[in-house]
Amino acid sequence: MKVAIAKERQTGEARVSASPDSVKKMVSLGMTVAVESGAGNGASFSDAAYKEAGAEISKSAKTLLADADVVLRVARPEADEVGDCPKGTLVIGQMNPYQETKKLEALAKQGLTVFALEFLPRISRAQAMDTLSSQANLAGYKAVIDAAAEYGRALPMMMTPAGRINPAKIMVMGAGVAGLQAIATARRLGGRVYATDVRPAAKEQVESLGAEFVAVEDEEFKAAETAGGYAKEMSDAYKKKQAELISESIADMDMVITTAQIPGRPAPRLIDEDMVKSMRPGSVIFDLAAEGGGNCALTQPGKMATKHGVKIIGYQNVPSRLAADASMLYANNLFNFLSLLYDKESKALKVDWEDEVVKGTLLSRDGALVHSRLTGRAE
């Protein structure tokens, strides 16, 4: 069985879908692995390291893909990138399934069997395959590091003969995987940390990291979690109360990290222009929800802008800014997912199409989109 790893061609992507370590594990299970020359450059993995791990290095993506059984991806490929793949080739990665339905249809029509790891069920058995978590964790860390670098002051309290520096006040909005890592990082750097979320389960997690939980804890809040553990979209009345609470606290914050998201929906708007105006000059907002439209009304996706004296960072694809670690974890996630589809005895693919993890992530098969969230059919 041949696994192909080509360069990621989308702009700004430095990650790669396999590491020398994951290649070694695939080869030890009897898979043949081919890597396009230079595919690991952005993540500091050299061709030589892949070769040493047992991969073949290919100069051309075209020949690499022509006889692939499985293609591992960081992001959804364009149809022409995988145009040479045989029908039935498995393409596995993050496919941006809510935004890219038309492009996914094109891949389905090519006869590719596409899996989107964003749809991975959040069950214990699948944790080691969870790319959303591995990447969000790094994004939460990096957002604090980048915001701290833009903040013209120190974060921890310092008592010096020349005077006292007060600890920076940092608010994290959205305490999922990214938010919890942002809280932990901000605490390690000596900040005084506050956090908000709409899911009641977040309160204990926030407090266990030593941050103060700030939220409107009414009846709606108590029921604001779906069976899958995600946040629900809140009512207008709740949003109004939440906005009042945020505007009371935000004026006193030096840094704000926003991570609030609801799968398949635009990012909730949590910070308006008046709230930005109320912040002290030199404060920093890092909007990790920039790709979903932003939690802050003034975020410019992909850029850093200064508005009313506040720096607002809207960088996209933050995990790619830590490409080596992000790729290493992502590659492990993909290896674990691929192991589920592989039979070690026959050294060939053996997919249980009824498996919850397989069913949950399968987007297309036999020329058509099959996932209920894309076809609109109830499960």
Closest distance between ligand NAD and the C-beta of residue 352, in Å?
20
User: Cβ–Cβ contacts within 10 Å for residue 133, how many?
Assistant: 20
> Among 94, 131, 185, 196, which residue sits at the site for ligand NAD (rule: CB under 6 A)?
196
Binding of residue 268 to ligand NAD (CB under 6 A):
yes
- Judged by CB, which is closer to ligand NAD: 23, or 260? 260
Over the window 199 to 238, marking each residue x when it contacts ligand NAD by CB under 6 A and - when it does not, the resulting string is x--x--------------------------xxx--x----
Say how many residues touch ligand NAD, by CB under 6 A.
29
- For the question of residue 130 being annotated catalytic, the response is yes
Segment 105 to 134, residues that bind ligand NAD, using CB under 6 A: 122, 127, 130, 132-133
Among 64, 175, 206, 285, binds ligand NAD (CB under 6 A): 175
- Of the residues 260, 284, 298, 310, which one makes contact with ligand NAD according to CB under 6 A: 260
Q: CA dihedral defined by 332, 336, 342, 343, rounded to 10 degrees?
A: 110
Question: Which token pair is 352?
Answer: 């249980």
Find the shortest distance in angstroms from Cβ 229 to ligand NAD.
3
Active-site residue, selected from the candidate residues 133, 181, 205, 242: 133
Task: Give the C-alpha separation, 174 to 303, whole Å.
Answer: 21
In the set 99, 127, 208, 346, the catalytic residue is 127
User: Where in 163-315 does DSSP place strands (E)?
Assistant: 163-165, 169-173, 192-196, 212-213, 255-258, 284-287, 304-307, 310-313
Q: Does residue 272 carry a catalytic annotation? A: no
* Catalytic residue list contains 127: yes
Using CA atoms, how far apart are residues 252 and 264, in angstroms rounded to an integer? Answer: 32
Q: According to CB under 6 A, which one of 177, 182, 253, 318 is a site residue for ligand NAD?
A: 177
Own/partner long-range contacts of 239-247 (Cβ < 8 Å, ≥24 apart): 239/268, 241/216, 242/196, 242/198, 242/215, 242/216, 242/270, 243/270, 243/272, 245/196, 245/214, 245/215, 245/216, 246/173, 246/196, 246/270, 246/271, 246/275, 247/274, 247/275, 247/278
Q: Which residues are catalytic?
A: 122, 127, 130, 133, 230
Q: Give the binding site for ligand NAD (CB under 6 A).
A: 122, 127, 130, 132-133, 136, 173-179, 196-199, 202, 229-231, 234, 259-263, 268, 270
